Amino acid sequence: MRINASFLAPMCSDPVAAGPKVHTFALRPGVTVSGRVLRDGKPLARVGLGMVQRDRNVQRFVGDFEYGTGDDGRFAFTNIPPGDAWVIYGLMDSLKPHGAIPVRHLRTGNHGETVELGDIKVRPGRRVSGRIVLADGKPVSPDIRVLLSRGEAWDSQTATAGPDGTFAFVGVQDERMNIS
């Protein structure tokens, strides 16, 4: 069972039996994960970051979190569940005009603690392009969509292929990607 409440860290409980017994679950404030996004040594405002657990087993997974940077490039993910392995990453759609932020691994501490990541630097993004060619040589359906998703991050981009089957993605990080 996934349990959520405003301003507290979500949790997944161990299985509980239905019946007359009352089960009590205590949510706590969680951990804050903060840092600053820089591009060419300057704070980068209004770009999105994401954070997701590394272990996405359905019995433990609490979901993903998204946050944007302020005018000073700073961000603070709050109410993150403690004592777990996470990845933080730049959201590709948000960073397209600026570059890319690679996946970064971290571990959260105890409730009430802050994990300060320091400066996260935007790197040049890559362009991934291709062309869909059908085995029978016929043209692709109009408005066919192509999905590019990141291997470790909870992030993706969608592109619409042109009439000739060509598509492109920009702001792609150098890491494992899936295309479908």
Successive 10-residue mean pLDDT values, the chain, 180 residues: 91 88 92 98 97 90 94 97 96 95 96 97 96 92 92 94 94 92
So what's the pLDDT on residue 85? 96
So what's the pLDDT on residue 111? 96
C-beta of residue 156 within 8 angstroms of C-beta of residue 149: yes
List Cα–Cα distances, 47 to 11, 52, 129, in angstroms: 27, 17, 24
So what's the pLDDT on residue 149? 96
So what's the pLDDT on residue 13? 85
- The helix (H) or strand (E) run that includes residue 126 is strand 126-131
Pick the CATH number of 26-121 from 1.20.120.1200, 2.60.40.10, 3.40.50.300, 3.90.1720.10: 2.60.40.10
